[in-house]
């Protein structure tokens, strides 16, 4: 059994974040960079802060064994997104930095996490709109 290569991701301000390739294989950008440069080269993702990359890595670590169709953000036939309890807790816990995480997902081309975040935000907005519309009825 061969050991997965450890990648070195160079973030903003030259900060290096280390992560194993099997964790970041959900990133289309990382897969392309590793294919062209090899895993031993420091990969430049200086458009991202190290803190947002670490948060994305935390999510990716939990989902590294997901089947490929799920990793690519495929939704259920009824249009709902496949979301785990961890996904909901992660999104709500990181709500203050969700814009930064969403930017990192788009930058790294991690479709599933981007889909999950957008789906949860949409559902929260629908729920909030429902609450507010009920509140307007009560105030009349």
At 39-59, the pLDDT tens digits run 899 999 999 999 999 999 999
Q: Is the domain covering 6-139 a CATH 3.30.710.10 domain? A: yes
pLDDT in tens, 6-26: 999 999 999 999 999 999 988
Q: How far apart are CA 64 and CA 41, in angstroms?
A: 22
DSSP state, residue 12 = G
Distance CA 66, CA 111 (A): 13
Please determine, for residue 140, whether its predicted confidence score (pLDDT) is greater than 60. no
pTM: 0.78
What does the domain layout of the chain look like in residue ranges?
Answer: 6-139
What backbone torsions phi and psi does residue 76 show, to the nearest 5 degrees? -65, 160
Rounded CA-CA distance 67/127 in Å is 30
| Nearest Cα to Cα of residue 7 among 15, 111, 16 | 16
Predicted confidence at residue 95, as pLDDT, reads: 82
């Amino acid at each position: 059994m061969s050991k997965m290569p450890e990648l070195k991701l160079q973030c903003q301000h030259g900060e290096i974040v280390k992560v194993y390739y099997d964790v970041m294989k959900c990133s289309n950008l990382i897969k392309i960079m590793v294919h062209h440069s090899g895993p031993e080269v420091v990969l430049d993702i200086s458009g991202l802060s190290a803190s947002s990359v670490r948060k994305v890595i935390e999510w990716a670590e939990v989902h590294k064994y997901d089947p490929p169709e799920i990793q690519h953000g495929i939704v259920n036939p009824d249009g709902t997104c496949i979301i785990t309890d961890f996904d909901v807790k992660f999104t709500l816990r990181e709500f203050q930095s969700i814009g930064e995480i969403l930017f990192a997902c788009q930058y790294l081309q991690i479709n599933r996490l981007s889909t999950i975040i957008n789906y949860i935000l949409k559902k929260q907005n629908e729920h909030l709109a429902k609450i507010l519309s009920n509140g307007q009825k009560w105030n009349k």
